[in-house]
């Protein structure tokens, strides 16, 4: 029987690459998307707003009815609207917190009863902005939400260790996606290219596979090496 994986934010960018890679690795892949329906070969796409608790709960129940269990959960969906403390509205703050952080809590909470003990893996796609050494005040709500994801990853990894369920976060390098081009100018992205720090979504999918396949990895923040260039 195929292992079953849910990938949130699977319609574009990094999530799409992760979903496609998991199909290639012979997983049964369920992809959650929000607003833009797309077809991805081999992926069972479901419209689920990850800020909506009831939608998440119903979608996970549906997945389990159809597929019986969840072996891997990839919490990837995210948004970023740059703002510093001076110009960050409460709406922006709440929207990013709900989409990037609370969604991870809800997905983990409602998947947990169906995650296979001694086998299941949770991978949270976080950001270097969530670590104090990379704090960038231009991205106040995004970095704050990703800090929550990093700490939640550490806490869950300890909590779920006795059940044999591993929890890790993958920290991509700058990656060429809609999200990136929405927050960095062409000139800024060119500098990243020139410095060799700009990656493609498939790089992140590779890191996710590394985490999923290594039974020793738990509670780790797995940085793309290029972050340090
Ligand atoms: N790109 C980078 O350089 C970079 C670096 C570090 C970390 N990351 C992280 O990587 C993850 C993916 O980012 P990306 O660059 O691939 O972004 P992207 O291309 O903008 O894709 C974002 C995905 O999230 C989904 N999404 C947004 N709001 C949602 C909601 N309320 N419910 C369900 N799905 C929702 C979108 O669905 P729709 O298409 O339906 O709107 C889309 O599939 C994010 O967590 C981001 O923070 C990215």
Tell me, using a 6 A CB cutoff, whether residue 178 lines ligand 1. Answer: yes
Q: Which residue has a Cα nearest atom 17 of ligand 1?
A: 179
pLDDT along the chain (229 residues), means of 10: 97 98 98 93 98 98 97 98 98 98 98 97 98 96 98 98 98 97 96 94 98 98 85
Testing ligand 1's pocket by substitution, the residue of 18, 32, 78, 181 carrying the most ligand atoms inside 8 A of its CB is 78
Q: What are the E-state strand segments in the chain? A: 4-8, 28-33, 43-47, 72-75, 121-125, 166-171, 174-175, 198-199, 221-223
- Ligand 1 atom having least distance to the Cα of 9: 43
Q: Helices 103-111 and 53-67 sit at what angle, rounded to 10 degrees?
A: 40
Spatial separation of the C-alpha atoms in residues 200 and 194, rounded to whole Å:
14
Spatial separation of the C-alpha atoms in residues 219 and 142, rounded to whole Å:
21
pLDDT of residue 226: 83
Tell me, using a 6 A CB cutoff, whether residue 19 lines ligand 1. Answer: no
Q: How far is the CA of 125 from the centre of ligand 1 (A)?
A: 9
Tell me, using a 6 A CB cutoff, whether residue 220 lines ligand 1. Answer: no
Q: How far is the CA of 32 from the centre of ligand 1 (A)?
A: 11
Beta strands 4-8 and 28-33: pairing type?
A: parallel
Spatial separation of the C-alpha atoms in residues 211 and 73, rounded to whole Å:
12
Q: Which two tokens stand for residue 93?
A: 């703050």
Tell me, using a 6 A CB cutoff, whether residue 98 lines ligand 1. Answer: no
Q: Which residue has a Cα nearest atom 7 of ligand 1?
A: 127
Q: Specify burial of residue 113 (Cβ count, 10 A radius: 0-12, 13-18, 19+).
A: exposed
Domains of the chain (ranges; CATH) run 4-224 (3.40.50.720)
Tell me, using a 6 A CB cutoff, whether residue 33 lines ligand 1. Answer: yes
Spatial separation of the C-alpha atoms in residues 55 and 79, rounded to whole Å:
19
pLDDT of residue 36: 80
pTM (2 d.p.)? 0.98
pLDDT of residue 61: 98
pLDDT of residue 229: 62
Q: How far is the CA of 77 from the centre of ligand 1 (A)?
A: 4
R_g (Cα) of the chain, nearest Å: 17
Spatial separation of the C-alpha atoms in residues 47 and 52, rounded to whole Å:
11
CB hemisphere CA count around 55 (13 angstroms): 12
> Of the candidates 161, 179, 147, which has an alpha carbon nearest to the alpha carbon of residue 13?
179
Give the three-state DSSP class for 24. helix
Tell me, using a 6 A CB cutoff, whether residue 144 lines ligand 1. Answer: no
Tell me, using a 6 A CB cutoff, whether residue 11 lines ligand 1. Answer: yes
């Amino acid at each position: 029987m195929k292992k079953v994986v849910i990938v949130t934010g699977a319609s574009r960018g990094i999530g799409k690459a992760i979903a496609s890679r998991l199909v290639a690795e012979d997983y049964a892949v369920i992809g959650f998307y929000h607003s833009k329906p797309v077809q991805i070969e081999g992926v069972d796409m479901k419209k689920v707003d990850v800020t909506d608790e009831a939608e998440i709960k119903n979608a996970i129940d549906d997945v389990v009815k159809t597929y019986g269990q969840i072996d891997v959960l990839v919490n990837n969906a995210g948004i970023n609207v740059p703002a510093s403390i001076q110009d960050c509205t409460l709406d922006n703050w709440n929207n990013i917190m709900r989409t990037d952080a609370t969604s991870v809590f809800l997905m983990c909470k409602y998947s947990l009863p169906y995650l296979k003990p001694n086998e299941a893996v949770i991978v949270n796609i976080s950001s270097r902005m969530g670590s104090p050494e990379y704090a960038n005040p231009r991205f106040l709500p995004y970095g704050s939400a990703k800090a929550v994801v990093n700490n939640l990853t550490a806490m869950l990894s300890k909590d779920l260790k006795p059940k044999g369920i591993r929890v890790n976060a993958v920290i991509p390098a700058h990656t060429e996606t809609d999200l990136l081009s929405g927050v960095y100018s062409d000139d800024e992205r060119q500098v990243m290219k020139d410095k060799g720090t700009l990656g493609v979504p498939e790089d992140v999918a590779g890191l996710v596979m590394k985490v999923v396949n290594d039974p020793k990895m738990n509670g780790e923040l797995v940085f793309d090496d290029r972050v340090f260039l």
